[in-house]
Amino acid sequence: MTVSYLSAYGYSPWNAGWIIQRNQTFAVYYKSNADQFAMHVIKTLNDPEIVRESWNRNPEEFPHFTAFVKLFAYIHYDAQRNQNSPLDSNWLPDAEQLCFLADVDAIVSSERGFMRRAFEALWHPCGKSMFTPDEFVIQLSHIH
């Protein structure tokens, strides 16, 4: 991954707060940057101040927007954390799929790259599950 990859998704030297610190977890990174990432998205909407105030007051009322903001932050985090890894060509559709976990408890995927890392950071702490197809078949066999 290169700086051009980062800049395509909002990174610039002026967004210095978005740079991860050595050994920083995603949870800490997100907590310190959530507002900035949200504003980066909100500023494209009509009445951005009203949206920002509503979201800041109660992000749980906006589960899909909150999921998107977390994912947007994670994309930056992952790009910095895994700079020397090859770019996962399916990262964008994988990211879109992960936003829908706001509505469901589990996802089935054989993905081992970006999607797996993003799931572990974003959804596993919330009690969501990610199964491989084989693991899902085993889960189904336990249902009577």
- Return the SS3 of 50: helix
pTM: 0.79
Tens-digit pLDDT profile for residues 88-98: 888 888 888 99
**Dihedrals φ, ψ of 95, to 5°?**
-60, -45
- Return the SS3 of 114: helix
Weakest-pLDDT range from 1-10, 11-20, 104-113? 1-10
Of 19, 140, 53, the closest CA to residue 10 belongs to 19
AA letter at 71: L
Tens-digit pLDDT profile for residues 6-41: 455 454 544 556 788 888 999 999 988 888 888 888
Identify whether the C-beta of residue 131 lies closer than 8 Å to the C-beta of residue 106: yes
b/e per residue 103-123 (b: at least 16 CB within 10 A): eeeebebebebbbbbbbebbb
AA letter at 131: F
The Cα–Cα gap between 76 and 74 comes to: 5
Of 103, 111, 109, the closest CA to residue 128 belongs to 103
